[in-house]
Amino acid sequence: MKKVLFFIGLALFVALAIMFDWLDARHWAEEGVSALDAVIDSLSMTGDSVQETVETYQQAKDNVP
């Protein structure tokens, strides 16, 4: 229970820090979101590439007599 309260308190502190821009928190939050966006874009491109490879493999498999 103490761990849950600790994480709730930590989340509350982070939210307040961003709201009131304590410790330049908005800058850090924006950098974190930008980094996360780059990771999501990279994962999307990798997923698309894998999906294309799987589709190509399935088409080649279907065309083999």
- Cα separation, 23 vs 35, in Å, equals 19
> pLDDT digits over 28-53, tens only?
999 999 999 999 999 999 999 999 99
For the cut 90, the answer to whether the pLDDT of residue 6 exceeds it is yes
- Cα separation, 24 vs 12, in Å, equals 16
pLDDT at residue 62 in the model: 85
Which H helix or E strand runs over 21? none
Residue 58 pLDDT class (50, 70, 90 cuts): very high
Residue 57 pLDDT class (50, 70, 90 cuts): very high
Q: Which amino acid is at 58?
A: Q
pLDDT at residue 63 in the model: 82
Q: Is the whole-model pTM more than 0.75?
A: no
